[in-house]
Amino acid sequence: MSDTTTEAARETWLHRMVKPFTRPELAAMLMLGFASGLPLYLLYQKTSFWMREEGVDLSTIGYFYWLGMFYSFKFIWAPIIDRVDLPWLTEKLGHRRSWMLLSVSGTVLGLVTIAGSDPSEGLTQIIVGALFLAFSGATLDISIDAWRIESAPSDEQASMAASYSFGYRAALMFSGLSLAIAEYASWFWSFSAMAAAMAMVGGLIFLIREPKRIGKRTAIDELPFLAGPAQAMAVALAFFGLAKVMAWMNFAEVSLFGTTIPLLHGLAAFGVVSLLAGRLVWRGTKMSLPWRLIVGVAALGFVYSGTIVDQLIGTTENEQVGKLWLVITTLTLLSAMIWLAIRASATTATALTSAGHVQERGRLYEMFAVPFLQVADRYGKVLVPIILLVMIYRLSDFTMGVMATPLYADLGFGKDVVGAIQSGPGVISVMVGLAIGGLAAAAFGVTWSLVLGAALTLITNGAYAWFAGTATGDDVGFLAFAICADNVAGGFVTTVFIAYLSSLVDPAQAATQYALFSSLYATLNKFVAGFSGQMAETLGYVNFFLLTASYAIPAGALVLVVAWLMKRYPPKPLTAPVES
C-alpha cells in the first residue's frame, strides 16, 4: 500500500512537471517569441552596423539607442491595446490576434522603409523606418504578453515563458543572417528578407487560437473621453512631462520648414493653459483656481529645474556636484508636483461628494487609471515589497553583463574564441537554463524557483570574480565554463521571473499590468547598468563582480519576505471570471 502511494505521488509530481510542455500553445509561443525578438535585434544591432559602414558618426548612431525606450515605456499605451477594438479586424480575428497582426504589419512597414533608405544620402527615411519598427515591435510585445497570459493558467506560465524565450533567442541567431545577406547582396535585400520573415509570422497568426477574453469590463464607448478634475489634471501634467523630456533630450527648439519652434516653452505653455482654462475646456473639471496655480508653479519648477539650479549655484568646479544638485532639485520638484496634484484632486473630489455631485468617470479613467489602481487595491500593504522585488531581482544580470565583454578583451581572449563560445556552447547553455527553469517552476512552484534562481545568480556571477582574478588569455576552458554557467543561470532566471510577473497580473488587464511590471524592472536595471563602467573602473573587475553578485542576496531574501507577507496579507480575489 505504501509503495502504491509513493508511486502515485511520483507520477503526480512527474505529471505536474511535464504536463505544461504538452500544450499546443507552446508551439505558437515559440513563433511569437521569434516575432517579438527579431525587431529589437534588428533595431539595435543591424541598423547601427549599416550606418557606421556608411560613415555616420558614433554620436548620431548612439542616439538610435533612444528608440529602444519605446520598449521601456510601453505601459503608457498598453491600456489602449487592452480596451480598444480594431475596426473589422477584431470582429474577424479576435482582440489579441487583431492587434498582433496590426503590429506585425507595422514592423514589416518599418523594415521595408529602412530597406529603401540610404544612410549616406540622409537619415530621415531610416529614422522614420526605425520609429515604425520600434513602436510596432513594442506594441507587438504587449499583445504577445497578453495572449500568453490569457492562453494558459498561472501554474503553466513558466513553460510558456520558456517557449517564448526559445523563440526570442532563435530570433537573435536568425538576425545574424541579415549581415551575411548584406555582405553578399546588399542592405536592401538584407532588410527586405527580414521584412519577409516578419510577414510570414503575420501569416501564422491566422493559425493560432484566439484566447477567450476573461473578466468583466466596463463598456467605455458611451463614456466621455475626459471627465473629472483628476483627468483634466493628468492632461496638464502630460504636457509638463513632455516638456521635461524635451529638455532632457536637448530639444528645446526644433527647426521645421525654415521656422524655429520653441518646443520646450510651447509644451510648458500648453500645460499652464490646460490648468488655467481647465474648467472651460474639460468636462467635469471643477478644481479651484488656487489649487491649479499651486500645481502649475511646482510643475514649471520641475520643467525648468536645470535653469533654477544654474541660477542658484552657478557653475561649480566639480561637475559631479552640479549634477547631484540637479538630480536632487528635479526629484524634489517632481515629488512636490505629484503630491500636490494628488492632494488637489482628492480635495476637489471630497468637496464634490459633500455637495452631492456625482463624480463623472471618463473613458480615459477607465482605460488608464483602473488597471493601475486595481494593482494597488489588490495587493495593499504588500505592493511596495512586490515592486521592490520586481525592480531588483534581475539587477545582478543587467549590471554584470555590461562588463563581461570588456573583461574578455582585457584578459587577452581573441574575438574568434569569445564569439565561438558565445554562439555555440553559450547559446546551448541558455536554452538548457530556459528549459530547467520551466521544469523547476512546474515541479516546485514559482516562489522556490525564484529563490533557487537568486542562488544560481549569486554563484555564477561570483564565479566571474574568480575568473577575473585568476584567468589569462590562454584559459579557454575557464572562459567557456564562466560563460556557460552564467548563461544557464540567466536562462533559468528569465523563465521563472517571467512566470512570476505573469502571476501578478489580472488576466482581464493582462496587457496593461504586465507592461507596467516589466517596464519597472527594465527601466531601472538599464539605468543602473549604465554606471557599470564607472563602477568597474573604481572597484576593479574582481570587486565589481563580487558586488554585482551580492545583489542576488537581498533579491532572494525579498522573495521569501514577499511570500510570507502574501500569506499574512493575501491579495484580494479577482472578480469571478466572465468569458466573452
Give the pLDDT score at 372: 77
Per-residue pLDDT band at 27 (split at 50, 70, 90): confident
Per-residue pLDDT band at 230 (split at 50, 70, 90): low
Give the pLDDT score at 5: 47
Q: CA triplet 30, 31, 33: central angle to 5 degrees?
A: 65
Instruction: Using the predicted structure, report yes or no on whether residue 564 has a pLDDT greater than 90.
Output: yes
Give the pLDDT score at 452: 93
Tens of pLDDT along 159-197?
Answer: 788 888 888 888 877 777 777 788 788 888 888 888 898
Radius of gyration of the chain (CA): 26
Instruction: Using the predicted structure, report yes or no on whether residue 65 has a pLDDT greater than 70.
Output: no
Instruction: Using the predicted structure, report yes or no on whether residue 204 has a pLDDT greater than 70.
Output: yes
Instruction: Using the predicted structure, report yes or no on whether residue 69 has a pLDDT greater than 80.
Output: no
Give the pLDDT score at 221: 59
Give the pLDDT score at 90: 81
Helix, strand or coil, per DSSP, at residue 509: helix
Of 480 and 522, more confident: 480
Instruction: Using the predicted structure, report yes or no on whether residue 6 has a pLDDT greater than 60.
Output: no
What percent of the chain clears pLDDT 90, i.e. is strictly above it?
A: 7
Q: What phi and psi, each to the nearest 5 degrees, are found at residue 531?
A: -95, 5
Residues constituting the chain? 580
Give the pLDDT score at 504: 86
Per-residue pLDDT band at 425 (split at 50, 70, 90): confident
Instruction: Using the predicted structure, report yes or no on whether residue 231 has a pLDDT greater than 80.
Output: no
Per-residue pLDDT band at 454 (split at 50, 70, 90): very high
Give the pLDDT score at 562: 92
Domain ranges in the chain?
13-213, 229-360, 367-572
Query: Rounded mean pLDDT of 299-309?
Result: 80
- In angstroms, what CA-CA distances link 38 with 128, 147, 191, 206, 324? 18, 18, 11, 19, 38
Give the pLDDT score at 66: 67
Is 134 within 8 Å of 97 (Cβ atoms)?
no
Per-residue pLDDT band at 557 (split at 50, 70, 90): very high
- Which range is most confident: 70-74, 130-134, 209-213, 405-409? 130-134
Per-residue pLDDT band at 577 (split at 50, 70, 90): very low
- Which range is most confident: 32-46, 226-240, 259-273? 32-46
Of 379 and 288, more confident: 379
Do the bridges between strand 254-256 and strand 259-261 make them parallel or antiparallel, or are there none, so unpaired?
antiparallel
Instruction: Using the predicted structure, report yes or no on whether residue 415 has a pLDDT greater than 80.
Output: no
Listed residue (386, 304, 354, 309) closest to 566, CA to CA: 386
Instruction: Using the predicted structure, report yes or no on whether residue 559 has a pLDDT greater than 90.
Output: yes
CB neighbour burial string for 315-348, b if at least 16 within 10 angstroms, e if fewer: eeeeeeebeebbeebbeebbebbeebbeebbeeb
Nearest-angstrom CA–CA distance, 486 and 102: 37
Nearest-angstrom CA–CA distance, 395 and 312: 36
Of 248 and 446, more confident: 446
Q: What phi and psi, each to the nearest 5 degrees, are found at residue 256?
A: -135, 120
Query: Rounded mean pLDDT of 47-65?
Result: 72
Give the pLDDT score at 576: 46
The reply to whether 13-213 and 367-572 are identical in fold is: yes
Helix, strand or coil, per DSSP, at residue 458: helix
Nearest-angstrom CA–CA distance, 224 and 232: 12
Give the pLDDT score at 578: 43
Nearest-angstrom CA–CA distance, 384 and 502: 17
Domain 367-572 in this protein, CATH class: mainly alpha
Helix, strand or coil, per DSSP, at residue 549: helix
Least confident span in 54-63, 71-80, 312-321, 439-448: 312-321
Angle between the N-to-C axes of helices 552-568 and 383-392, in degrees from 0 to 180, rounded to the nearest 10: 160
- Which range is most confident: 272-276, 347-351, 432-436? 432-436
CB neighbour burial string for 271-306, b if at least 16 within 10 angstroms, e if fewer: bbebbeebbeebebbbbeeebbebbbebbbbbbbbe
Least confident span in 8-22, 124-138, 249-263, 415-429: 8-22
**At 320, which helix (H) or strand (E)?**
helix 319-354
Of 139 and 333, more confident: 139
C-alpha cell at 382: 504588500
Give the pLDDT score at 9: 46
* CATH architecture classification, 13-213: Up-down Bundle (1.20)
Per-residue pLDDT band at 252 (split at 50, 70, 90): low
Helix, strand or coil, per DSSP, at residue 284: coil
Tell me the average pLDDT of the chain: 77
Listed residue (144, 192, 197) closest to 174, CA to CA: 197
Helix, strand or coil, per DSSP, at residue 249: coil
Give the pLDDT score at 1: 43
